[in-house]
Amino acid sequence: MQQIPFPILYEDNHLLVINKPAQLATMGVRPPRTSAIELARKYIKEKYEKPGNVYLGIVSRLDAPATGILLFARTSKAASRLTAQYRDREVTKIYHILIEGEMSEPTGTLEDWVCKDERHRRMHTTQPETPGSKQARCNYRVLERRSRASLVEVELETGRKHQIRLQFGSRGYPVIGDRKYGSTRPFSAGIALHAGRLALIHPVSGKPLEFTALPPATWRAYGIRSE
């Protein structure tokens, strides 16, 4: 079987959970580039010798330059139930980021209205009355400060595109390596944004599940415990 470029964190008949590496898109890229969902489909097809197309549903995405936990549904029923959990905010999503500078408050809540800029493939903060705007909200906690940087834990309440990157970058604390949202410091691979913990209810058994993943080795330069 062809080797896949990411660890499998969990797998059963309904779910597939991976630890996505930096610069691998979740989906939507053209050859010769590949995506996490394409590689995951090949993995399922070969491992279980499935004929025809393999179903995998994307419940939520992870930006290409980011790393960490990515969840796929292996059946349409699982996809529908998981989507409902995300919509009803019953899923816990914890991220870790390295940001430039030190935030004035060690804990807090960030709330903005955001909209898409399709032309430049980015997001902007805006006003509630702007057509197409959506609310973005997250809670944060500063864990460590070092090397003119801060390690911050973020819990998303909403799941907007580029949400963490935009909300911190727009306040002058960009994620390290994220030039799109204002970072001036390089990061050796992708950006310093990692999806480290995901907790949800299994869509079929109803049992609580929790997945964790350490940041990649690129974080060691900042003294962060990593894989």
Mention every residue, 6+ apart, whose C-beta is less than 8 A from residue 141.
106, 107, 152, 153
Query: What is the 3-class SS of 125-191, one letter each residue?
Result: EECCCCCCCEEEEEEEEEEEEECCEEEEEEEECCCCCCHHHHHHHCCCCCECCCHHHCCCCCCCCCC
Catalytic residue among 12, 63, 117, 178: 63
Q: What are the φ/ψ torsions at residue 225 (nearest 5 degrees)?
A: -60, 130
- Look up 63 and say whether it is catalytic: yes
Enzyme catalytic residues? 63
